[in-house]
Chains A and B, each alone.
With several copies, the nearest count.
Chain A
């Protein structure tokens, strides 16, 4: 462990801090910057009713990263991304530096802390839209400090969503505290008139996550963030695949924010296009990307994180990513405004979904200390995430798709659901008696949902 120092209230590595400008300089640079700001882009999207699209994108080399951003911009994203490499996510800055020297093409993202804030600023200056740092780090304090010095105005992550899918053994107390410090810096900046958009990664493990689990986790992260002074939140939800449920979930983000968050906080629903096992056939993949755009618009999302038709094959090239942006945006076109859904069905979904979220969240909030409440709830299984990489989530929950494709609870594990919620899930997932083998086949089929339909649509 390297030595840490205080930087604006965050503990960061001394070596990271040594290279940064003074805090006041950072604040002044952010406040006086004429660059486009993430919060403004999101507010504009909300005003027009048309979500912006944002790709994931990050490569190791600096020139290559500049080139990538410049190649994606003409496709019309409303925001662009600097995706960070795995070494940097795990604070292995020395290994990231070594890889950058020896084989930058092998890095699966841009090592921002190694490149430093001056280069980060060059990225921001290269394009005409805001950039967000996306990573997957349970403790991103160093990365956040460098991102702020560079001038980034949007930063993804939270103590639950950036822990459960990415780490085997980081206690929630650790990750929640690291993100509390990040949020507290955002609060201080907000007091100085600088609004940093904090995006919460509701996708979790990306495998059949029941919507109420996603929304409960991001809501808890949001409440914790707002208590530290955060004023602009992007709350992401992963497309499950059933349109009424997905629209209900996106619309519930605003409803839950109205109920649990103070009105001065801007909340922007974000749709992650389907994050599960992606179809390999280009036709189906394209249609699924388009479908995501349409769902985002119908659900009132302000932003879509788009997929690409190379998703099944690994990290996409720039052309595929540009096409993914365009395809997602196609789904948001006003030409499709005639598409109407069964609003009664959506209302019913919203009602049950918000009830489930309340039943998960309210007990955690009872004691007042959100980080401690989160840690305790996960330990007891009262909060849970299926298919967790972290041993600190018990993964006793078993999800299932119902007959319509909506994601339900086949087993609720230790979740503190009411009898009514459990009965509804039982009823919707009751596929008759089945052997344990049949059971596992069914879960696998639900995971591979969009592979199954591929034979027909591509």
Chain B
């Protein structure tokens, strides 16, 4: 089955180049990439997931240091039953207020499932997510 991910850049962030590089990388790995592009509100990621329910993950890039603010609605969305697939966050998360490990912990506290420091880790992380999902389905007898 064709593997599919939803990709985009956080709402306040207009950096297009890294976003496209990641999209290219994933396509090289054989993924179908639904790329929502720059300045994408979290609700748009949720809508894209509803339109593409087979997505293995939502991958969000953030290069401008405002990741926490841009993802602040994640708990509310999840509480409303949306955006329930794994969320992977990558980019320059260590700039500004996120320099500390505390910053990373705050992001995890929002419900971010995986935090990438290096974009090259992304395919591996997606593989781990699929394995975990498969194991979950096996355990559930699906």
- Chain A residues with CB under 8 Å of chain B are 168, 205, 207, 386-391, 395, 398, 436-437, 439-440, 443-444, 447
Contacts and interface: CB of A to CB of B under 8 A. Distances in A.
A439 B16 contact: no
Contact of B20 (A168, A386, A437, A439): A386
B14 A389 contact: yes
A439 B23 contact: no
Given A388-B16, A389-B14, A439-B28, A168 B21 contact: no
A207 B17 contact: yes
B13 to A, nearest CB: 11
Nearest to A277: B17
A439 B38 contact: no
Contacts of A447: 17
A389 B28 contact: no
22 contacts: A168-B14, A168-B39, A205-B17, A387-B16, A387-B20, A388-B16, A388-B37, A389-B38, A391-B35, A391-B36, A391-B37, A395-B23, A398-B24, A436-B25, A436-B29, A437-B25, A437-B120, A440-B28, A440-B120, A443-B21, A443-B24, A447-B17
B24 A439 contact: yes
B123 interface: yes
A137 to B, nearest CB: 16
Contacts of B38: 168, 389
A376 B88 CA distance: 33
Contacts of A387: 16-17, 20
Contacts of B35: 391, 395
A92 B100 CA distance: 36
* Chain B interface main SS type: helix
A313 to B, nearest CB: 17
B79 to A, nearest CB: 28
Interface of B: 14, 16-17, 20-21, 23-25, 28-29, 35-39, 119-120, 123
How would you classify the secondary structure of chain A's contact residues: helix, strand, loop or mixed?
A: loop
A439 B37 contact: no
A447 B17 CA distance: 10
A390 B20 CA distance: 12
Contacts of B24: 398, 439-440, 443
B25 A439 contact: yes
A311 B36 CA distance: 30
A389 B38 CA distance: 6
B82 to A, nearest CB: 21
Nearest to B31: A436
Q: Nearest 7 CB-CB pairs, A to B?
A: A436-B28, A440-B25, A389-B16, A387-B20, A391-B37, A436-B29, A439-B28
Contacts of B21: 440, 443-444
Contacts of B37: 168, 388-391
A436 B27 CA distance: 9
Contacts of B29: 436
Contacts of B28: 436, 439-440
A395 B20 CA distance: 8
Contacts of A388: 16, 20, 37
A437 B36 CA distance: 22
A376 B20 CA distance: 22
A336 B29 CA distance: 39
Contacts of B39: 168
Nearest to A387: B20
B24 to A, nearest CB: 6
A447 B20 CA distance: 12
A439 B29 CA distance: 10
Nearest to B25: A440
A440 B17 CA distance: 12
Contacts of B14: 168, 389
A33 B28 CA distance: 58
Contacts of A439: 24-25, 28
Contacts of B17: 205, 207, 387, 447
A172 to B, nearest CB: 15
Nearest to B40: A168
B18 to A, nearest CB: 9
Nearest to B8: A391
A205 B35 CA distance: 17
A75 B39 CA distance: 39
A390 B17 CA distance: 12
Nearest to A447: B17
Contacts of A391: 35-37
A444 B22 CA distance: 11
